[in-house]
Chains A and B, each alone.
Chain A
Amino acid sequence: KNEVEQSPQNLTAQEGEFITINCSYSVGISALHWLQQHPGGGIVSLFMLSSGKKKHGRLIATINIQEKHSSLHITASHPRDSAVYICAARGADGLTFGKGTHLIIQP
């Protein structure tokens, strides 16, 4: 079964800082998802990656299939980016979630 590890578990940063959240997984996958969960619980899918890099606004996601590692970056962070960020690896046994990274951006 796939093991998905995220780091850091908690991250507090100042507005404007560049943020990196890491995700590693143990077995080969077909895709990796980055999700955002705001207080109140709603979940939004940010990216789905199977290779390379994707960018949407201030968010960038990268994946290295050989190293079984993905990163989510936030440039020019803003307090509204405060949320829990979750990576989820999609493999033969379905979807395995990381425990999430709780990000707080202070003004």
Chain B
Amino acid sequence: GAGVSQSPSNKVTEKGKDVELRCDPISGHTALYWYRQSLGQGLEFLIYFQGNSAPDKSGLPSDRFSAERTGGSVSTLTIQRTQQEDSAVYLCASGMSSYNSPLHFGNGTRLTVT
């Protein structure tokens, strides 16, 4: 596709359930970031993948959060045992390299935990 694709665009789930969010980056982009934006808040870094290097997980808020990037392309962010404070828009961005390319953002997944 022409841009970064995220799915689903909206997800409503009950507290305690697990959710998976998907990001399809632009083909060939080696850098992939996950962020979230809670209502009225700024962007919060979650995790960063760069090529085949070990991901930078320093932004993950708890061990309920994990992410994978298979084959250097598609990434899934998994939240286990969701809590209401997990409600946010989860954004994915990709770029050609970690430092020297513009970032392309997906439209995000709006997660609501009831």
Contact = CB atoms under 8 A, between A and B. Distances in A.
Contacts of A43: 91, 93, 105
Contact of B100 (A44, A45, A50, A98): A50
Contacts of B25: none
A19 B103 CA distance: 24
A48 interface: yes
A25 interface: no
Interface stretch (B12-20, B40-48, B72-80): B40-48
A100 B42 contact: yes
Contact of A99 (B42, B48, B56): B42
B104 interface: yes
B33 A94 contact: yes
A45 B103 contact: yes
B56 A94 contact: yes
Where chain A touches its partner, the secondary structure class is strand
A33 B107 contact: no
Interface in A56-107: 86, 88, 90, 93-100
A45 B99 contact: no
Contacts of A86: 42-43
B43 A45 contact: no
A48 B102 contact: yes
A41 B89 contact: yes
A42 interface: yes
Nearest to B48: A94
A31 interface: yes
Interface of A: 30-31, 33, 35, 41-45, 47-48, 50, 86, 88, 90, 93-100
Given A86-B42, A90-B99, 7 more contacts: A30-B100, A41-B37, A41-B108, A43-B93, A95-B48, A97-B43, A99-B42
